[in-house]
Amino acid sequence: MSNSETLIQNTQHAFLVAWGWFAEQIGLIQQLQAVSLKQKHYHHRPQTKVLEFLVAILAGLQHLQDISLAAHPLDKDQAVAQAWAQPAWADYSGVSRTLSGLSWEEVKQIVQALEQISQPYLTAEVKLLRLQGNRLRLDGDLTGLPVSNTSQTYPNAAFGHMDDEIRLGYQAGVVSLQSPTYGRLWLSVAHHPGDTVSCTQAEALVLAAEARLRLRPRRRTELLRQRIAAFEQVVTQTGERLEKQKQAVKQTKALLVAAEQQVQVYQQQVDELEEDYQTRQRAERPTSRLAQARQRLQVIVKRAASRTSACKQAQLRLDKTTAQWSQQQAELAVFYQRLLRFEQDNAANAEAVEAEFRLDAGFGTYENVALLIEMGYDLYTKPHSHKTVAYLKQQVDDTTAWTRVGANAELVAWPALQLKHCPYALDVALERFYTGKTLKHSALFHFGAQPVTEDLPRWFQQYNGRQTIEAGIKESKQVFSLHHLKVRSEPAIALQEAFVLFAANFIRWAAHWLQAHAQPAENALNVRKLGIKRQVHVAAHVSAQVSEDSEGKLLKFSEQSAFAGQLLRVVGVQPSPHQLPF
């Protein structure tokens, strides 16, 4: 096409156009259009409306109706529709109806399409990390998505802890990878009712991350075998105690039966003597046979009562030990199954990776700590129970040497400390810090090869580096409006969660791609210098002229835009749905 034949369009959503170009290059549009959706096609295909929902999320729209009712409606921007290879966009009401009609199976197919698009980027980042000699650094968390506490139209919503309150809503379990190229990449998101608690989700987060990365560390089966051997001894001791208590119950029951029989015998003697005394009209004296018989009966009755109590106590001990033994048998069965599964994992894991997982205190139960250690991860977390902090505070006094690790934090640490109820020795640190004038304490747990107790500031910084996932959660809510649920169908809510996390990754990939394919010019826009928030809230809502010729595609930002006088020209791009990053 010659320059004279160049088609020029106007848009109020410049970066949505540029992101459409990128989406076509990586095959995203083709993948989503290929998903089978069992809905009727009137003016717009259901796949188009699903794609429009993703574009609305990329634009950071807070409400679904903003598609049609915003100052510059997205559904009226033909340049954006064309960039995303669509004839036109639907009204928001049509998008809403399509989303409400999605099934869980259809949402699963859409998410699988997103994962297929994402996989080359994840593979490339993991390869780069390993070439740099770095381990994989994963962060996991559970974040609340509250709705109105009085709402009755959100299916399976439940009350739970959200933003330090009890709120009605949902929970999303998320995992991110620290990326050398993009800073942070989301790996997975799982939709849960609002009453889901962190301590139940540690293994699920790890398995979800492994499924996305298609990699995992070597399972520490040798530690698990040692744990099983030690636990088997405990189970054996419980079994021996159980047998002794069974015999004790048998003996106490026999003694009780004997005592009850004696009560009957002595009661019969008293009855016969009473009848004889009445027949003979004899008076009962303190030393008479009747009085002595009554005394013997009282003694036997007391003995029977004592043996009844002893029998009940023995039975209670037996019941408690029986329950404990049954629980231990169940736990042992879980350990055996885990060992078998981990041995199979290792046998099939020809390319094990080194990886660490960072989790907050909500996940830090001793069982979760042990499980993640056995799964092969180096672990950074905090204890779930406040009792651990109370115990550590008892181990320090006025002579303890504290190490400053931050502007308002000090640590004291113990390497390879064996804590009660934890099967493995951990590096443990007690932290003290002030909030205002109040002195507070917390603790850190670590397991792994890094000698963290030798460099406490680095340990402190390493754990607090998990703020990257907290920043990501904040970004998902403040930039992509995840906290505004745009739909009330639960499958569609789960799709919104998946789209938001994909959008955060997508824009990071797109920024590198656009900059790599941008034609250098004095007035060229430097996309890489724009943060995610500015790209979504500003660049996706500025006006520009869109044109395309034989050399490439051009965005020329209008004089009324925030990028007045600048342009973005993308050249040398050939459509290829299988194109790898860069």
Q: What is the mean pLDDT of residues 465-482?
A: 96
Task: Report the distance separating Cα 477 and Cα 484, nearest Å.
Answer: 8
Q: What is the pLDDT of residue 4?
A: 43
Where does residue 263 rank: exposed (0-12), middle (13-18), buried (19+ CB within 10 A)? middle
Task: Report the distance separating Cα 545 and Cα 556, nearest Å.
Answer: 5
pLDDT at 578 over 80: no
Residue 368: band (very low, low, confident or very high) from pLDDT cuts 50, 70, 90: very high
Task: Report the distance separating Cα 330 and Cα 324, nearest Å.
Answer: 10
The closest of 534, 530, 527, 532 to 512, measured between CA atoms, is 527
Q: What is the pLDDT of residue 228?
A: 97
Tokens standing for residue 350: 């020809």
Q: What is the mean pLDDT of residues 63-72?
A: 96
Q: CA end-to-end span of the chain, whole Å?
A: 26
Task: Report the distance separating Cα 20 and Cα 34, nearest Å.
Answer: 17
pLDDT in tens, 130-146: 999 999 999 999 999 99
pLDDT at 504 over 80: yes
Residue 158: band (very low, low, confident or very high) from pLDDT cuts 50, 70, 90: very high
Q: Choose the weakest-confidence range: 136-150, 171-185, 302-316, 548-562.
A: 548-562
| H helix intervals, 168-288 | 202-213, 221-280
pLDDT in tens, 415-433: 999 999 999 999 999 999 9
pLDDT at 176 over 90: yes
Q: What is the mean pLDDT of residues 26-30?
A: 96
Tokens standing for residue 552: 């490439």
Q: What is the pLDDT of residue 167?
A: 95
Q: What is the pLDDT of residue 6?
A: 63
pTM metric for this prediction: 0.88
pLDDT at 580 over 80: no
Q: What is the pLDDT of residue 521?
A: 87
pLDDT in tens, 253-287: 999 999 999 999 999 999 999 889 889 888 888 88
Residue 574: band (very low, low, confident or very high) from pLDDT cuts 50, 70, 90: low
Hey, where are the domains in the chain?
3-108+487-571, 224-348, 378-465
Task: Report the distance separating Cα 522 and Cα 567, nearest Å.
Answer: 10
SS3 518: strand
Residue 309: band (very low, low, confident or very high) from pLDDT cuts 50, 70, 90: very high
- For residue 182, the Cα-to-chain-centroid distance in whole angstroms is 22
Q: What is the pLDDT of residue 58?
A: 98
Q: How are beta strands 136-146 and 355-358 bridged, if at all?
A: parallel
Residue 5: band (very low, low, confident or very high) from pLDDT cuts 50, 70, 90: low
pLDDT in tens, 516-534: 999 988 899 999 899 999 9
Instruction: Domain 224-348: state its class.
Output: mainly alpha
Q: How are beta strands 165-179 and 355-358 bridged, if at all?
A: unpaired
